[in-house]
């Protein structure tokens, strides 16, 4: 009778969803740090805003997403063409170009042209995927440890 109860519990999707969610949350901050590390290897992090904008989200099913509030993060991660940035005064985008031009000590138009010509993000960096993949075995080990602990606790 107890064996049947245990088998029924371990075969329930909700049970494994809870375990997976707990395991992923246990590694979320390390995954976030790793994503930031991989990003820093690919881009010149002038202000730190891009790196600091990266965060990890885990939903109720244990699905992991590495996200960012920074406008350029998706383009840098997935890759794609960079449009010619607007460098003129009064435009929302031009504020950022002007800010970065100041960091590099150049005219905003020259920075905008360099971005367009060089296409620095045409090739994907995949920093988010690499960070998640880097911790794949850690999450597997955590799932095993949680399942074992729950079994011992009689959950």
User: What is the full DSSP assignment across 100-118?
Assistant: HHHHHTS-HHHHHHHHHHH
pLDDT, residue 99, reads: 87
Helical H segments across the chain, by residue range: 2-10, 13-42, 49-52, 73-78, 92-104, 108-118, 127-134, 136-153
Q: How far apart are CA 35 and CA 72, in angstroms?
A: 15
Encode pLDDT of 19-35 as tens digits: 888 999 999 999 999 99
Q: How far apart are CA 149 and CA 130, in angstroms?
A: 29
Encode pLDDT of 76-134 as tens digits: 999 999 888 887 876 666 788 888 889 999 998 999 999 899 888 899 999 999 999 99
Look up the pTM and report it.
0.77
């Amino acid at each position: 009778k107890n064996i049947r109860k245990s088998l029924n519990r371990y075969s329930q999707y909700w049970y494994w969803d809870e375990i997976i969610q707990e395991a992923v949350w246990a590694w979320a901050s390390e995954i976030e740090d790793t994503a930031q590390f991989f990003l820093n290897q690919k881009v010149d992090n002038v202000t730190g805003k891009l790196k600091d904008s990266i965060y990890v989200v885990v939903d109720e099913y244990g699905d992991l997403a590495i996200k960012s509030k920074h406008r350029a993060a998706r383009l840098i991660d997935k890759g794609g063409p960079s449009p010619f940035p607007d460098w003129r005064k009064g435009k929302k985008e031009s504020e950022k170009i002007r800010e970065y031009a100041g960091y590099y000590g150049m005219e905003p138009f020259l920075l905008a042209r360099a971005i367009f010509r060089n296409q620095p993000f045409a090739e994907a960096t995949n920093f988010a995927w690499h960070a998640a993949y880097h911790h794949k075995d850690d999450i597997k080990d955590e799932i095993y440890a949680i399942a074992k602990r729950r079994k011992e606790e009689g959950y």
